Amino acid sequence: MELHTDEAVDIYIVGGERYNPLTGCILLDYMYAGAFDTLLIDITYEKGRHFKRTPLGITDAKFNFWRLCRRYLYPTNSEVGCWLRDLMRHCIVFKELLSIDAGPMLNPQVMIQGLHELSSKDGVIRQFDLDSAMATYAGLLSGGNLRACMGFVLSFVNDNQNHGSITWRNLELIKVLYRHIRHTVVAMVEAHRNLENPEDMIDLEKSQQYKDAFYNDDFGNANENPFMRYPSTLVAIAAVDDFEGRIYQQFTNQNSDDLYDFVNEPNLSTEQKQARYSDVQNILLYSNVRGDMAGNIVGLGHAVDFFGRSLTMPKSMYKDPDNPAKYFPIFDIEYTDQDRMELNNYQLIQKTIARESIHEEIETPVGFGKTESEMSFEAWTPDDPAATKKGTPGETIAVKKASPADAKAKEEGKQNTFFLIAIVAFVAAAFWSTN
C-alpha cells in the first residue's frame, strides 16, 4: 500500500514559497519520483490539472521525501547558481523566439539587488559592492546583450559543493524570475489552445530550435534539473492545484493505543517487534499527524532539521543522516483533536490495526532498488526511465524514444506566426507592466 507525504512536502519543502519558490518543479519531481519525461509537457498543455502520481510504498516514499529535502531544501551552492542560470536562460529564449521581453532581467535594480540579498558569508553568492555591480549590469544591458548580463550575474556565484539551507533565505530574485516564466507559460498555453490559431507550443518547447537557444552560452548543463529544462515542467501550472482539496481524518489516542498493541503483540520475536515498530513509525512520522511538529522533538520537523544539519555540518556529531526519522520515538505522543493525517495514510493505519499486510506489491520505480547508503539522498534521476511501468501519459511515465526521422520532423519547419507572437507578447507584457 502506498504512503503519501503530500502534506510533509507542502509544509517543509515548498512552504507556500516561504522555503522554495520553484513550486511546480518540486511538485512534479515529487509526484513522479524523479522520473522525468517530456510527455509531461503534453500533459501541461493538453490536460491541465490531470497530473497523477507514481505510487510508492512506505520505504520508497520515505526515500523520495529525503531526496527532495536534499535537492530543494539543502542544495549545494552550485545547484542554486544553476537555478539562476536556467531561469535566466528561459527569459532570454522567450525574448529570442517569441519576442517577449526578458522581464526582470531588464531591470538592473531588481537583478543586482536580488543577487545582493542572496549573498552571505560562505553563502551562494559572494559579497560584492552593490552600486558598482549595478552600474556594470546597466552598462551591459544598454548594449542589448542579455547573455552578457547573465554571465555577469553568474560570475558572483560561489561554485562549490557546500550544502546550505535555503529556509528563510531571501530568494526574491529566484521568485521574480520564476513568476515571469510562469506567467509566460500561462500565455503560451492560452495561445496553444486558441482555436483560431492552433499553433503547437508543445513542439516549440521540445524543438532543436529551443534547445539550441537555451544552451547558446558557455555555461553547459552541470547540475541540470530535468524538471527545470522546459518552461512548462518548470512551472507546472496545474500541479499546485493537486494538493488542494485533500481529505483528512482525525487521528486519536485510540488509534495510537491500537498500534501500540500491534507492535507489542505477545509471542513476537524482538526482530518482529522492531520491524512492526519501524513500519508504524514511518507511517505516523511521514503522515504529518502532529500540528506542532516543528517544535516537537519526536516530529518530522525535528527530523528535517537533523537531516539538514547533517548535510551542512558534516564534521559535526551527526554521523548518520541517511534515515533521521529512526531516532524519534512515536508512542509517547498525546494526540489531540487537532491531529490529523491524509485519508490515504489513515486507511493504511487502519489496515495495520486490522493486521492486514501493508506490504502488498507496488512496482518500484527504477533507481529505488538502491539501498539507503547507495542513494545517500543525492539528487536522483533514473538510470533507465523507460523501465518504469505503464506508458500511460499522466500516470507512471515511460520514455518512448523517437526515431531520428521523427525527431528531425518535429524539430524542423516549426515557425510561430505573427499572430501567435502577438498574443503571447501582449499578455506577458501586460502582466510585467503591472508588477
Over the stretch 275-291, which tens digit does the pLDDT of each residue have?
Answer: 899 889 889 989 887 75
Determine the pLDDT at residue 129. 92
Amino acid (1-letter code) at residue 154: L
Report the alpha-carbon distance of residue 222 to residue 229 in Å, rounded.
12
Determine the pLDDT at residue 428. 44
Residue 86: how many other CB atoms lie within 10 Å? 21
The tens-digit pLDDT sequence of the chain (435 residues) is 789 999 899 888 887 666 789 999 999 999 999 999 899 998 888 876 678 888 899 889 999 999 999 999 999 999 999 999 999 999 999 999 999 999 999 999 999 999 998 876 567 888 899 999 999 999 999 998 999 999 999 999 988 888 888 877 788 999 999 999 999 998 888 888 876 766 688 999 999 999 999 999 999 998 899 999 999 999 987 555 556 667 899 998 889 999 999 999 999 999 999 989 988 988 998 988 775 544 556 678 888 888 888 888 766 555 555 677 777 778 877 888 888 899 999 999 999 888 887 777 676 665 565 443 333 343 333 333 333 333 323 333 332 333 444 444 444 444 443 334 444 444 444 444 444
C-alpha distance across the termini of the chain, in Å: 46
Report the alpha-carbon distance of residue 356 to residue 348 in Å, rounded.
9
Determine the pLDDT at residue 3. 92
Secondary structure of 388-417 in the HEC alphabet? CCCCCCCCCCCCCCCCHHHHHHHHCCCCCC
pTM equals 0.82
Amino acid (1-letter code) at residue 279: D
Residue owning grid cell 555555461? 219
Residue 312: how many other CB atoms lie within 10 Å? 14
Report the alpha-carbon distance of residue 193 to residue 429 in Å, rounded.
20
Grid cell of 109 as nine digits: 535594480
Residues with Cβ within 8 Å of 94's Cβ and at least 6 positions away in sequence, in order, are 100, 102, 181, 184, 231, 428
With b for 16 or more beta-carbon neighbours within 10 A and e for fewer, the 127-165 pattern comes to eeeeeebbebbeebbeeeebbebbbbbbebbbeeeebbb
C-alpha distance from residue 418 to each of 93, 158, 199, 411 (Å): 17, 42, 11, 19
Instruction: List own/partner pairs for 294-301 with CB under 8 A and 24 or more apart.
Output: 296/333, 297/328, 298/328, 298/329, 298/330, 298/332, 298/333, 299/328, 300/8, 300/12, 300/325, 301/12
Beta bridge mates, 250: 340
Helix (H, G, I), strand (E, B), or coil: what is residue 119? strand
Helix (H, G, I), strand (E, B), or coil: what is residue 340? strand
Beta bridge mates, 340: 250
Q: What's the residue count for the chain?
A: 435
DSSP element (H, E) containing 89:
helix 77-98
The pair phi, psi for residue 89, each rounded to 5°, is: -60, -45
Determine the pLDDT at residue 298. 66
> DSSP string spanning 203-242?
HHHHSHHHHHHHT-SS-TTTT--GGGSSHHHHH-TTGGGG
Grid cell of 291 as nine digits: 500540528
**Model pLDDT for residues 382-392, shown as the tens digit of each residue:** 333 333 333 32
Grid cell of 100 as nine digits: 517577449
Grid cell of 340 as nine digits: 490529523
Helix (H, G, I), strand (E, B), or coil: what is residue 341? strand
Helix, strand, coil proportions of the chain in percent (round to 5)?
55, 5, 40
Strands 340-342 and 248-250 come out as antiparallel
Determine the pLDDT at residue 322. 62
